[in-house]
Structure 1
């Protein structure tokens, strides 16, 4: 599936007793993404303002919202090169699209320190202009690092369905350089053995997948890794910052 296409996303929280069976059922219909049968690591840094504007936009369910994050794909020591991106995730009226540009390791670390990357092609120029706008209105910086192991299944480049399972989801509120041997986040976001299943689809969800949901009695539910990390570790529910303490209020 083309990550730049508009698509709908649905999330499901799978308890330990259902995860393996549901994943095996998906495997009967979809191929491993890029042949990664063992899955791969994803390491992300999420950006927000001091007043946590991005968090509150998620909580209030604003139909048009954008979020900045960096992503590093790949498992250190696996023999495969790590792939790094700077991304803008844009949700508009239920559709999701990602705009992203590749970055080298030093370039990504510089971006996390507040320096803009040297993106010279046309697409890079457009993303860079959007990043500058988002980073400054109001000012945003890295807030939390989230890491997990992903098993991904895809219907191919011209396909319309992608299903992923995120396991061992952990976070950390530290900002060391994103090196291949950096300390792994250690604060858990899921119960042991649980997984987040995410479905990305262009058009209707196939009948076989709808049948699978009914067979295992699972229903979509919202689960934002970023929001859960903040709520569980950055502030207790009784001490949440007020909405939009900094920046312009949301109408």
Structure 2
């Protein structure tokens, strides 16, 4: 496993009806296939300040924004590897810095405020972020079921479909079951197109035919706005 990863790409988001998803899957068939992970159940723990400074700033749609999370692609035990991710966005380009650590090590470092036990540029960036915004707390647990597609031929264009997106503000464990409050309407799917360049012409044509339009959708941001609307967030 690669224990350090850096991504730089565009991530375009679309909310699909069942009919629109069926259309996209049909059009994709000659060009793409499920990646080696197939359908996964992704779990995320998002970290923020006590007054939700990071997500409030992100929702203001600045030129630059950032977020920090710990993620797994299945239910994991205390000693299983998870991903510590620093995700940044500058003028529509997404930059992701990612480290792999055992869940108990990552959670312990975040709980105690100690540095990550890795000597690398990515670890230094994550530790600086944590120091700059300290203290950080686990604020939202987000889970969803994902189908990820990769091209049949060479290329970095990827398509993901996220469904059953749930959030909660307790039981922050990547070992836990998928439960919480839904973010999408019944039958909806969040599709993301991920690319470092352009969208293939066949996909652009399918979006036009299906009247599928790009949207701005942040899972963490939507969870925060729901909590705010329901009075689930109280500021000191």
TM > 0.5 = yes
Higher relative strand content? 2
Q: SS of the counterpart of 1:212? A: helix
| Whole-angstrom CA distance in 2 between matches of 1:166 and 1:183 | 17
- What is the number of residues matched between the two proteins? 229
Equivalent positions of 1:32-181 (< 5 A) are: 32-34=34-36, 36=38, 39-74=39-74, 84-116=82-114, 118-122=116-120, 126-139=121-134, 140-155=136-151, 159-179=155-175
Whether contact under 8 Å (1:27, 1:153) holds in the other structure is: no
Distance in 2 (CA, whole Å) between partners of 1:156 and 1:48 is 39
Task: Report the Cα distance in structure 2 between the residues aligned to 1:88 and 1:174, rounded to whole angstroms.
Answer: 22
The 3-state SS of whatever aligns with 1:235 is helix
Query: How far is the alpha carbon of 1:241 from its aligned partner?
Result: 7.5
Asked if 1:191 corresponds to 2:191, the answer is: no
Structure 1: runs of 5 or more not aligned: 246-251
Using the size of structure 1 for normalisation, the TM-score is 0.81
Distance 2:81 2:27 in 1: 29
The answer to whether the 8 A contact 1:9-1:199 is kept is yes
Is 1:206 matched up with 2:200? yes
**Aligned-partner Cα distance in 2 for 1:99–1:6:** 9
Alpha-carbon shift at residue 156 of structure 1 (Å): 7.0
The CA deviation at 1:238 is: 8.3
Query: Within 2, Cα distance between the matches of 1:235 and 1:83?
Result: 33
- Name the CA shift for 1:133/1:157 in 2 (closer, same or farther; >3 Å): farther
Shift of 1:141: 1.6
How far apart, in 1, do the equivalents of 2:112 and 2:24 lie?
42
Moved more, 204-213 or 24-33: 24-33
Aligned to 1:248: none
> How many Å separate the matches in 2 of 1:207 and 1:148?
29
Q: CA RMSD in A?
A: 2.7
Query: More deviation in 11-20 or 43-52?
Result: 11-20
Contact 2:151 2:158 in 1 (8 A): yes
Consecutive unaligned residues of structure 2, counting only runs of 5 or more, are none
Q: TM-score, normalised by structure 2?
A: 0.86
